Amino acid sequence: MTRPLSPAEMARLHAACFTTPRPWTEAEFADLLSSPLCFALTEDGGLLLGRAVAGEAELLTIAVAQALRRNGLGRRLMQGFLDEAAARGADSAFLEVAASNLAAQALYHAMGFAEAGRRRGYYHSPAGGSEDALILVRSLTKPS
């Protein structure tokens, strides 16, 4: 993609994009990036963090700056995630998304993900409320 973002830059972008779930800290990004199982994809104004282990890939987070949304950046990052996950030997991928995040859900469904479950009250807002997380999955293997 473009130049790598530092954990501090990732934390700033994440904070600009999220309140629920809460934004991740610089230390959390640094900790995840220190794992050989995790990978980051970045473009100016966007980041994606994923992990692949034991044949399964997890989309940990994706963030796209407000001004750059609906221009294909999220789709490019997601395609990069699918490609990298497959290259790392994953046969399937999963993610969690807030039940109210309809824009993200539309992207994920367009990328071939389908709902497989729900985690009730999984996300907690700064105001004290909670929200369900949808679990979405998709296969990364090509049909024969």
pLDDT tens per residue, range 35-65: 999 999 999 899 999 999 999 999 999 999 9
In the sheet that 114-124 helps form, which strands lie side by side, from edge to edge? 38-43, 46-53, 56-64, 92-98, 130-139, 114-124
Strand, coil or helix: what is 4?
Answer: coil
Contact by Cβ (8 Å): 138, 92: yes
Give the pairing of strands 92-98 and 56-64: parallel
State pLDDT tens for residues 105-130.
999 999 999 999 999 989 887 788 89
pLDDT in tens, 65-112: 999 998 999 999 999 999 999 999 999 999 999 999 999 999 999 999
Q: CA angle at residue 127 from 107 to 30, to 5 degrees?
A: 60
The CATH number of domain 7-139, selected from 3.40.630.30, 3.40.50.10710, 3.40.630.10, 2.60.40.420: 3.40.630.30
Concatenated DSSP letters for 18-35? Answer: -SSSPPPPHHHHHHHHTS
3-class state of residue 122 by DSSP? strand
Contacts of 11 (CB under 8 A, 6+ apart): 23, 24, 25, 26, 28, 29
pLDDT at 53: 96
Residue 111 tokens, joined:
């990328």
For 3-24, write each residue's pLDDT tens digit: 789 999 999 999 999 887 789 9
CB 132 within 8 A of CB 122: yes
